[in-house]
C-alpha cells in the first residue's frame, strides 16, 4: 500500500509538538474531558509521554492543585486565584515591600514569603539566602514559560511547595544516585571526575535544588519539569548523567575541577533538547515510568 501523505504529515506534526503518535494525543484529550479529572491517570500519562505546549500549563495547574479535579469549577477558581493574587499584592504595596520597577521575580518572592508567614521586617531586609536564590531562579524560568503574572505566581508557588514537601528529603541523596547511574553508563568518566576531584564539586544546586533553572532554555526545561511535577525528582539525576555523557570528551580533557564546574554551569545551549530526550530515555530504562517515582 502506498504511503498516505496526509497521515505522514499528521504524524510528523504531532511528533514535532511532542507526541509520538496520534493515539497519544487522543488519549490525553479524553483524559482532559473527564469530570472529575483523574489526577493519577494524568500523572501517569505525563510521566510516560511528552506534553505539547497547547496542554502543558493546564495540566500543570491540575497536577499542582491550582485547579481542582472538577472541570466545571475551573473558571470560578481562576477568579478566586486572581483575586487572592491582587489582595496579596495590595498588602505588600501598603507595607511598602514593593517599589516601582521592582523585578517580577522579586515581587513573587515577597508574595511567597508573605503567604508562608516568613516575610522579614522592612528594616531587616537582607540579600536573598540560598533558599531565596533557588526560588528566584525557578521564578525566572517559570516567567519565561508563562506570560500571565497571576498564573506564573501560582505555578511558581505550588511547584516550589510541592518540590520541597515531597522531595526535600530526597534531594540530598541525588548526587549519590548520579554516581551510581554514571558508573553503570560510563565508569571511566566517573573515575576521571573522582580522580581530579570534580565529582563532589559538580553544580548540584543548579541541577537539583533549582531543577535546572538557568541551565536549559525553556523549551527543554519544561519537558524536565513535566516529569518533576507529575511525581519524579529522580529524573533530575538522569538529566545530570546525560549532561556528563554528552560532554564526555570535554570533561575528560580537563584536569582542573574548577574548569569542569565552570563549563557545566555555563554549558552550550544548542544541544539541550537532545540531552533531555536521552535523559528521559535513560530514566525509563532504569526506572520505567512509575506514577510517583522519587
User: Which CATH number goes with the domain that contains 141?
Assistant: 1.10.8.680
Q: Are residues 289 and 185 in the same domain?
A: yes
Q: Is residue 289 part of a domain?
A: yes
Residue 288: how many CB atoms within 10 A of its CB? 10
Residue where a domain terminates, one of 120, 147, 166: 166
The model's pLDDT over 142-170, given as tens digits with 9 standing for 90+, comes to 999 999 999 999 999 999 999 999 999 99
Does one domain contain both 178 and 267?
A: yes
Q: Are residues 173 and 294 in the same domain?
A: yes
* Cα 13 → chain centroid: 25
Residue 259 pLDDT > 60: yes
Residue 124: band (very low, low, confident or very high) from pLDDT cuts 50, 70, 90: low
**What's the mean pLDDT when you consider all of the chain?**
89
CA dihedral 123, 126, 129, 133 (to 10 degrees): 100
User: For the domain that residue 43 is a member of, what is the CATH number?
Assistant: 1.10.10.750
**pLDDT tens for residues 5-63?**
433 444 444 444 444 546 777 889 899 999 999 999 999 999 999 887 889 999 999 99
Res. 131 pLDDT band, cuts 50 70 90: confident
117 shares its domain with 180: no
What is the percent of the chain with per-residue pLDDT over 70, rounded to a whole number?
88
Q: What is the distance between the alpha carbons of residues 166 and 117, in angstroms, rounded to a whole number?
A: 20
- pLDDT category, 213, cuts 50, 70, 90? very high
Residues 287 and 294: their CA atoms lie apart, in Å, by 10
One domain for residues 248 and 213: yes
Model pLDDT, residue 201: 96
Angstrom distance (rounded) from CA 276 to CA 286: 15
How far is it, in rounded angstroms, from Cα 27 to Cα 251?
A: 42
- Residues 9 and 18: their CA atoms lie apart, in Å, by 14
Q: How far apart are CA 193 and CA 189, in angstroms?
A: 6
Same domain, 54 and 94: no
pLDDT, tens digit (0-9, with 9 covering 90-100), for 159-212: 999 999 999 999 999 999 999 999 999 999 999 999 999 999 999 999 999 999
Looking at 166, 185, 209, the residue that finishes a domain is: 166
Residue with cell 533530575: 236
Q: Are residues 37 and 125 in the same domain?
A: no
- Residue 20: the pLDDT is 53
Please tell me the distance from the alpha carbon of residue 263 to that of residue 60, in angstroms, as a whole number: 32
- For residue range 226-237, what is the model confidence (pLDDT) as tens digits? 999 999 999 999
Does residue 58 share a domain with residue 81? Answer: no
- The answer to whether residue 52 sits within a structural domain is yes
| Number of folded domains that form the chain | 3
Q: Which domain holds residue 134?
A: 71-166
What CATH number did the domain enclosing 271 receive? 1.10.472.80
Name every residue whose Cβ is closer than 8 Å to that of residue 190 and which is 6 or more positions away in sequence: 179, 182, 183, 199
Instruction: Judge if 194 and 269 occupy the same domain.
Output: yes
Q: What are the residues whose beta carbons fall under 8 Å from the beta carbon of 35, sequence distance 6 or more?
A: 70, 71, 72
Whether residue 260 lies inside any domain: the answer is yes
Question: Is the same domain home to 209 and 282?
Answer: yes
Task: Give me the pLDDT at residue 22, please.
Answer: 62
In a domain, 252, yes or no: yes
Last residue within a domain, chosen from 114, 136, 166: 166
DSSP label of 269: S
Q: Is residue 1 part of a domain?
A: no
Amino acid at each position: 500500500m502506498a504511503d498516505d501523505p496526509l497521515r505522514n504529515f499528521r504524524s510528523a506534526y504531532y511528533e514535532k509538538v511532542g507526541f509520538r503518535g496520534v493515539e497519544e494525543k487522543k488519549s490525553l484529550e479524553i483524559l482532559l474531558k473527564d469530570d472529575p479529572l483523574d489526577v493519577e491517570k494524568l500523572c501517569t500519562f505525563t510521566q510516560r509521554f511528552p506534553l505539547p505546549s497547547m496542554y502543558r500549563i493546564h495540566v500543570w495547574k491540575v497536577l499542582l492543585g491550582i485547579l481542582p479535579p472538577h472541570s466545571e469549577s475551573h473558571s470560578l477558581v481562576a477568579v478566586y486565584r486572581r483575586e487572592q493574587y491582587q489582595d496579596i499584592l495590595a498588602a505588600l504595596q501598603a507595607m511598602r515591600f514593593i517599589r516601582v520597577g521592582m523585578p517580577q521575580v522579586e515581587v513573587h518572592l515577597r508574595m511567597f514569603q508573605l503567604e508562608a508567614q516568613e516575610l522579614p521586617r522592612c528594616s531587616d531586609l537582607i540579600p536573598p539566602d540560598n533558599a531565596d536564590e533557588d526560588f528566584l531562579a525557578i521564578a525566572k524560568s517559570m516567567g519565561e514559560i508563562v506570560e500571565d503574572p497571576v498564573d506564573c505566581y501560582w505555578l511558581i508557588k505550588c511547584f516550589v511547595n510541592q518540590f520541597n514537601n515531597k522531595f526535600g528529603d530526597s534531594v540530598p541523596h541525588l548526587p549519590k544516585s548520579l554516581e551510581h547511574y554514571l558508573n553503570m553508563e560510563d565508569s571511566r568518566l566517573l573515575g576521571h571526575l573522582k580522580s581530579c576531584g570534580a565529582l563532589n564539586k559538580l553544580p548540584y544546586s543548579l541541577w537539583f535544588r533549582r531543577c535546572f533553572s538557568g541551565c536549559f532554555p525553556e523549551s527543554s526545561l519544561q519537558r524536565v519539569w513535566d516529569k518533576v511535577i507529575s511525581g519524579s525528582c529522580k529524573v533530575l539525576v538522569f538529566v545530570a548523567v546525560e549532561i556528563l555523557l554528552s560532554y564526555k570528551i570535554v570533561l575528560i580533557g580537563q584536569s582542573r575541577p574548577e574548569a569542569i564546574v565552570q563549563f557545566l554551569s555555563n554549558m552550550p545551549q544548542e544541544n539541550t533538547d537532545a540531552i533531555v530526550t536521552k535523559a528521559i530515555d535513560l530514566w525509563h530504562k532504569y526506572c520505567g515510568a512509575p506514577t510517583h517515582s522519587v
